[in-house]
Amino acid sequence: MDRAMFPPGFCFGAATAATQIEGAWNEDGKGLSIWDRWAHASPKRDKPDVACDHYHRYGQDVELMRQIGLNAYRFSISWPRIFPEGTGQVEPRGLDFYSRLVDALLEAGITPFVTLFHWDLPEALWQRQQGWMSRDTAQAFADYAATVFDALGDRVHHWITHNEPKNVHVHSGYRDGSSAPGLKGGHRAALTASHHMLLGHGLAVQAFRQSGRSGQIGITEAAGFPHPRSDDPRDAQAADYALQYDCFWHVDAICRGHYPEMVNEDFMYPFMPENFEADYPAIASPVDFLGINYYRDNWFSYDEAQPVHYRFNDPPEIPRTPYGNLITPEGTWRLLRAFQERVPGMPLYITENGYAGTDATERVNADGHVADEDRTQFIASYLAQAARAIRDGVNLRGWFVWSLLDNYEWGTYKPRFGLIHVDYETQQRTVKDSAWWFGQVARGGGFDPEP
């Protein structure tokens, strides 16, 4: 394969989320989030109380990013750290923390990409109005966003409204109840919460335009290229439904002004919020880019028993990481091409892509190294396909590895995704070999897939 090259100004970064790294869960006036409540509700769940203690150690973490050679950092802001009650009184100590973090990043030559919502809804909004089940939460989100734009918009010029608003947060949190906030509301709850999150996105984009701040704003969606599990025509239909719902449900509403045609199916339309079409103009407020969280392709079988008429059905022969995640690097090219065809010319970022190791596979050795060659090979194989997509005309602007640090993975500390190893007992950081390799790529703008 030819040398994988990336254009000047390409962002090579890492990504994190507030709940997963900050700790300080009840310090400096921070309100409870739905994840604080949910994690403490069961002794079987790990807690985000300390996590990576980034709230107190952010300076050290920024310095490690600088040493590695990252030129961008995607992090999220904790809504309840800014508005402890979801609305109303602002907590200035929360805004001050993020202001200091942004200043440290800029001093280190690292471009901040700020995500406004990475699932940590203020618990107060859940108690008052069941979170995203209410349209009022969409307006509360826009008001929170406007406050952050005002505080940080003089220095932050890349904004992401939501992270994976539907595929993960809505489905596990509002439909199945398997994660925070824990609502087992079924199909109707999923479509309602998803729509209100999308409305909140549109209102936040409008607030950004009205703020007069310079910069760009977009949204990050989770997606994996869909394949039929067999030659059965019904499985082909399942893959098409998955393309519409898993990949482009929000993208079409934002960039085309309406949901995909699947919304008109009798198993979808009756479950949508009343008069949802009236929100299309707000939702379609123009964005500057789309973020894609891509880890793996997906395979589907037709199943009328499922609310969306399909189910995941992974082939057994696909290789996996030690934590069990599929490895499908060529899907990077397929998915980026699909997005570019759906929204021609739209700037794209891979806002998450990462490899999950375990305690057994990722230990600090006697020389003080974490020799994670498998992660290096994983990132290289996916990045090579991204370079291929760029050569084919895809407008890809950046790549963010998940994650900067081994961290709290929503109820457990077992998977290790980080470029930096974290000893959770001592909070000792150790930069992994994969991070040094990625930093070399960032500095040189490319690499040889087959040296």
Give the CA dihedral 402, 347, 98, 125, nearest 10 degrees. Answer: -90
- Among candidate residues 352, 362, 373, 409, the one labeled active-site is 352
State the SS3 of 141-196: HHHHHHHHHHHHCCCCCEEEEEECHHHHHHHHHHHCCCCCCCCCCHHHHHHHHHHH
3-state helix, strand, coil in the chain (%, to 5): 45, 15, 40
- β 11-15/396-402 pair status: parallel
227 close to 318: Cβ distance less than 8 angstroms: no
What are residue 447's DSSP bridge partners? Answer: 4
- Say whether 352 is catalytic: yes
Place of tokens 């070399």: 440
- The Cα 74–Cα 402 span in angstroms is 10
For residue 447, what are the contacts with CB-CB under 8 A and spacing of at least 6?
A: 3, 4, 380, 383, 440, 441
Q: Which residue has the tokens 């699909």?
A: 338
How crowded is the C-beta side of 3, counted as CA atoms within 13 Å? 8
Of residues 164, 265, 274, 373, which has the active-site annotation?
A: 164
**Residues labelled catalytic:** 164, 352
